[in-house]
Amino acid sequence: MSDKREHAEPAAAPISAPVSAPVLASTAASLSEKGRHSLRADCESCFALCCVAPAFSASTDFAINKNAGQACPNLRQDFRCGIHTRLRPQGFRGCTVYDCFGAGQKVSQITFGGQDWRQAPRTARQMFEVFPIVRDLHELLWYLTEALTLQPARSLHGELGLALEEIERLTHNSPDALAKLDVAALRRDVNVLLLRASELVRAEVPRKKKDRRGADLIGAKLKGADLRGANLRGAYLIGADLRGADLRMADLTGADLRDADLRGADLTDSIFLIQSQLDAAKGDAHTRVPPSLTHPGHW
């Protein structure tokens, strides 16, 4: 966990190969259905890696300081959180917006074959080192899986599918091989594909689109704004007033939505929005979100 904003832009080398349209459609549907399931956290199958591996600092998101590799004092012996139902009032809001994209159970059950770090302490250091790497790879898989569902980007589905297969293969590497991966390079290469997909989708909006990539929109007054097709990749929207805003087909890759007011906003067809961004924002029953995501419990 971290009190920093989401990754500004995710990112495998560019891969291309001729693939028939029927195969593309079948592959996209299969990868999307299977991918979404495997990229959701299964805490029952994880050794609470997110409660141990990352460091965090006392802030509005965390009540205490914790070093990397140090177990959170709220972690019980059964790998459950002792204050899970009270995280926000106890000052651990950062825990409620963290998403491992299913990396926790993969590292616990596949990479280390079900050996937990308490019973096999010799694995602890390497397990904690590998976890954030696999987490980043799984985040890329999430974005690639979503890109494969974007019909305006179907001309890229062959490249996207091959990139997804390659990243998935890497997640099954040995701990030593995973530790040597250049995740930043992978992120950059995949991001090229994702940006191309985004441009194809946003081109469907028949008007000039706003380019706010990386913009400082902290506290911006955007109530009711028409942001259809806007490029908001990596934008700082902390505390922004987006009540009733139209964000359909807007690219929200890595946009910092902490405390942004999304009440009544329409994000149904927004691109590359992830659950942790919603969890960090404010919304209500009238906020419309993509079908793959859910309304946070605190809304």
For residue 14 the two structure tokens come to 């560019």
Rounded Cα–Cα distance for residues 2 and 97 (Å): 10
**Contact criterion met (CB below 8 Å) for 112 and 175:** yes
pLDDT, position 114: 95
**Contact criterion met (CB below 8 Å) for 295 and 287:** yes
**Contact criterion met (CB below 8 Å) for 170 and 130:** no
Q: How confident is the model at residue 34 (pLDDT cuts 50, 70, 90)?
A: low
For residues 184-198, average pLDDT: 97
Burial of 195 (0-12, 13-18, 19+ CB in 10 A): middle
CA count, 13 A, side-chain hemisphere, 11: 12
Query: Looking at the predicted structure, is the pLDDT value of residue 25 above 50?
Result: no
Residues 72-95: pLDDT tens digits? 999 999 999 999 999 999 999 999
At 172, the amino acid letter reads H
Residues 220-237: pLDDT tens digits? 999 999 999 999 999 999
Pick from 178, 253, 264: nearest CA to 223: 264
Rounded Cα–Cα distance for residues 98 and 93 (Å): 9
Sign of the torsion angle spanned by Cα atoms 94, 100, 105, 108 = negative
**Contact criterion met (CB below 8 Å) for 100 and 49:** yes
What residues are paired with 66 via a beta bridge?
56
Domains of the chain: residue spans and CATH:
1-204 (no CATH), 206-299 (2.160.20.80)
% of the chain exceeding 90 in pLDDT = 85
**Contact criterion met (CB below 8 Å) for 257 and 233:** no
For residues 192-220, average pLDDT: 94
**Contact criterion met (CB below 8 Å) for 197 and 150:** yes
pLDDT, position 38: 87
Q: How far is CA 165 from CA 30, 131, 257, in A?
A: 12, 20, 30
Residues 114-171: pLDDT tens digits? 999 999 999 999 999 999 999 999 999 999 999 999 999 999 999 999 999 999 999 9
Q: Which residues, in sequence order, are CB contacts of 86 under 8 Å at separation 6+?
A: none
Rounded Cα–Cα distance for residues 261 and 266 (Å): 12
**Contact criterion met (CB below 8 Å) for 128 and 104:** no
Q: How far is CA 232 from CA 15, 151, 204, 258, 290, in A?
A: 26, 21, 16, 14, 17
Alpha helices in the chain (DSSP H): 21-38, 93-96, 103-106, 124-147, 157-171, 175-179, 183-202, 275-280
Written as one string, the DSSP assignment of 176-220 is HHHHT--HHHHHHHHHHHHHHHHHHHHTTSSSPPPB-TT-B-TT-
- What pTM value is reported for the model? 0.87
Rounded Cα–Cα distance for residues 96 and 103 (Å): 17
